[in-house]
Amino acid sequence: MRGKGEGAVYRVPKDRKQPLKYWTAVVELPNPTGDPKDRRRKVVRSKNKSEVVEKLAKLQDDLRNRGDLPTSSMTCEKWFLYWVEQVAAKEVRPNTIDGYRRTIHNHINPAIGRVKLDKLGPAHIRRVHDAILAKGLASTTALLAHRVMSVSLKDALRENRIGRNPATLVRAPRKSVTELHALDLTEALQVLRHVATMPEGALWATSLLTGARRGEVIGLERDRVGDSLDLSWQLQRIRWRHGCGGTCDRIRDRDCPQRKTDDTPADYEYRSLEGGLYWTRPKSPKSWRIIPLIEPLRSILLSHLEKSPENQWGLVFTRKGRPIGPDLAGKDWRKVLVAAGIEKDVRLHDARHTAVDLLYLAGVPEDLIQEIVGHSTRATTRGYKSPQNQQRLIAAMEQFSALLADEPPREISGRVA
């Protein structure tokens, strides 16, 4: 087999006793998968031998300058599978890649997988949109698929596998309008009163009174609780790839003895708890934050820490001595709302929205609200270290505390802090 860039010119048919049909020139192209079955070649033909030789020389020139040439030898299915494992996996976080894989497997490849990559056009992009909507799925799912295709095809364009990115020629589906449910002040106080006597009451109070993300709360460590709360890590469940290619008898990726953890971005920080649970850094350093710990949450957390036994992970919140997984926390939150008499369907993540609403209601300046809840627009790690800024944060949290001053829920599990 010829190497990359090498070319050959031959007559068709080879038997010179037969009339000439045409001359053929072939140049070998890079093989992205390494599989001999995916051999890639660029072919040009002409009845004039000198003309085909000139075409071959130009192909070889273009290949040297561009590194690759568009070819119809790769299907969309092969490209998207190659891209998600060999390109995207080294650039984005594991859970994001898991979402990419499911989108490609469930929606993109079933619709356009057999289409040759260089033949892909706007109509094919719309075919993916239509196939998703025909399943009765939300347009947000179609929007996600569009974004995955757009990013992937941008890389295909960069690698000279296609001449243009057809996803940019099609309007992206509009995001579905979803009704957001958040607790108002009365309902928030109702929940806080209910959880005040629960063994895990401090967990739900922390979510409501800080606006912290679910993973930041369930992953909170004891040594990050003091005069302030250090919300620089979050607990997540991560699905790693089978390092064996899925050939082992393990049902779950995380149980594979060769699971792939080495194809994450170079700047991705994580620490293992157990199984598929990990501490990870928030997506942006701007989301790492330290917020003052003030009443009533200060008393709630200190009381909880006094009563709770130490655990091997140093976690603030556990369930029967074990870490609390994200899904379990979400399900338990809904049970708490029902028991508290709240009829709204409010996700645990929506407690962030409640906290934001209450901070606005308390008159806290918008820039400080963004810092408290960890929005990326204004918050910076350096700002948290500034004594002047810390005083403003303390004042902001005290304003928030004053809003609840009439009925501060300080009693947890029957004990008054």
Sequence-ordered list of residues with C-beta below 8 angstroms from that of 50, at least 6 positions apart, any chain: none
Which among 214, 261, 224 has a CA at the least distance from the CA of 97? 261
Quick one: 59 and 153 in the same domain? Answer: no
Quick one: 13 and 132 in the same domain? Answer: no
Per the DSSP assignment, residues forming a β-bridge with 75 are 116
Per the DSSP assignment, residues forming a β-bridge with 29 are 40
Q: How many C-beta atoms surround the C-beta of residue 372 within 10 A?
A: 24
Q: Which of 53-57, 67-71, 222-226, 236-240 has the highest mean pLDDT?
A: 222-226
Quick one: 105 and 34 in the same domain? Answer: no
**CB-facing half-sphere around the CA of 367: CA atoms within 13 A:** 7
The pTM assigned to this predicted structure is: 0.66
Q: Is the peptide bond before 365 cis (omega within 30 degrees of 0)?
A: no
Strands (E), 198-254: 228-231, 234-237
Q: Last residue of a domain, which of 142, 169, 196?
A: 169
Would the CA dihedral through 191, 340, 203, 216 be positive or negative? negative
- Asked whether residue 251 carries a pLDDT value surpassing 50, the answer given is no
Sheet with 40-46, edge to edge strand ranges = 7-12, 22-29, 40-46
Q: What is the pLDDT of residues 322-366, one digit of tens each?
A: 999 999 999 999 999 999 999 888 888 888 878 877 777 777 777
Burial code (b: 16+ CB inside 10 Å, e: under 16) for 164-198 equals ebbbeebebbeeeeeeeebbeeebbbbbbebbbeb
Burial class (CB within 10 angstroms; exposed 0-12, middle 13-18, buried 19+) of 21: exposed
CATH for 359: 1.10.443.10
In a domain, 361, yes or no: yes
Letter for the amino acid at 283? K
pLDDT of residue 405: 67
Quick one: 305 and 216 in the same domain? Answer: yes
Quick one: 373 and 353 in the same domain? Answer: yes
Quick one: 389 and 331 in the same domain? Answer: yes
Least confident of 93-97, 132-136, 159-163: 159-163
Cα 45–Cα 157–Cα 113 angle in degrees, nearest 5: 80
Measured distance CA(153)–CA(169) in Å, rounded: 12
- Asked whether residue 85 carries a pLDDT value surpassing 50, the answer given is yes
Measured distance CA(345)–CA(337) in Å, rounded: 9
Quick one: 198 and 332 in the same domain? Answer: yes
Letter for the amino acid at 74? M
| Mean pLDDT for the stretch of residues 292-311 | 89
pLDDT band with cut points at 50, 70 and 90 for residue 248: very low
Q: What is the pLDDT of residues 109-158, one digit of tens each?
A: 999 999 999 889 999 999 999 999 999 998 999 999 999 999 999 999 88
Hey, what are 240's tokens? Answer: 């790693």
Measured distance CA(241)–CA(224) in Å, rounded: 31
In a domain, 177, yes or no: no
| Residue pair 411/371 in contact by the 8 Å Cβ criterion | no
Measured distance CA(339)–CA(30) in Å, rounded: 62
| Mean pLDDT for the stretch of residues 27-31 | 80
Instruction: Tell me the backbone φ, ψ of residue 92, rounded to 5 degrees.
Output: -125, 170
| Residue pair 415/197 in contact by the 8 Å Cβ criterion | no
What total number of domains does the chain contain? 3
pLDDT of residue 3: 44
Which among 119, 9, 85 has a CA at the least distance from the CA of 246? 85
Structural domain boundaries, residue 200: 185-238+276-416
